[in-house]
Amino acid sequence: NSAPVTESRTGMSFPSILKESQRLLGIGLRKKAIFGLKNIDVYAFGVYADDGDVKKCLAQKHVGPSDSELKQKEELRDHLMENDIRMTVRLQIVYGRLSIGSVRSAFEESVGSRLLKFGGYDNKELLHRFTSQFKDDIKIPRGSIIELSRDHGYILHTTIDGKEVGSIQSKLLCRSILDLYIGDESFDQKAKEDVESNLASLLHK
């Protein structure tokens, strides 16, 4: 079935198939506390993976039959994040007043914490050099669509409203970005659980 799926809290609608072969596996919501007071809904996100790549990869994956169902699901999710599977995280902006400065600092904080977690990589200067490329004149009003796509060879492509703004080859960066959305401390537990259930059902097909 190919009907779009709506994120219930924001009403943002996600196509069930992207780039012809990437299937929607989970959706979630990124919130942010501002001034330690109020939680704003920043964007809704959808996580996609290439069907063929996933099937090939799951076919090679041996899940311990004696492991609990939960453990099996976690293993599948880890496997998805670690391997050379084409994936996309699609962000649909909800908060209409994002400044590029706040995007830079959120990026440095969230992505920075994961680079440290997976790479032991704590180069603030480099991160800052990277985010300084987010030009002040970029506009991301409500409804803007940012896609972060991992291509074969661990190349991360970033597009805003369909226009490529950059690409970088780094397994560590791809892993770090995916961890924000479907890792153990995902922005939204529901997205992570959706992905686990969908992978498990693909495995048992």
Using CB under 6 A, pick the residue from 12, 24, 27, 42 that binds ligand DAO. 42
Q: Per rule CB under 6 A, is residue 98 in the interface with ligand DAO?
A: yes
- Establish if 173 lies at the interface with ligand DAO (CB under 6 A): yes
**Taking contact as CB under 6 A, which single stretch among the options 20-28, 70-78, 167-175, 192-200 is the one that binds ligand DAO?**
167-175
One DSSP character per residue, the chain reads ----EE-TTT--EE-SEETTTEEEEEEEEEEEEETTTEEEEEEEEEEEEEHHHHHHHHHH----TTS-HHHHHHHHHHHHHHS---EEEEEEE--TT--HHHHHHHHHHHHHHHHHHHH----HHHHHHHHTTS-TT----TT-EEEEEEETTTEEEEEETTEEEEEEE-HHHHHHHHHHHHSTT-S-HHHHHHHHHHHHHHHT-
Contact flags string 114-153 toward ligand DAO, x per CB under 6 A: -x----------xx--x---x---x-------x-------
- Binding footprint of ligand DAO on the chain (CB under 6 A): 30, 32, 34, 42-43, 91, 98-100, 102-103, 106-107, 110-111, 115, 126-127, 130, 134, 138, 146, 158, 168, 170-173, 180
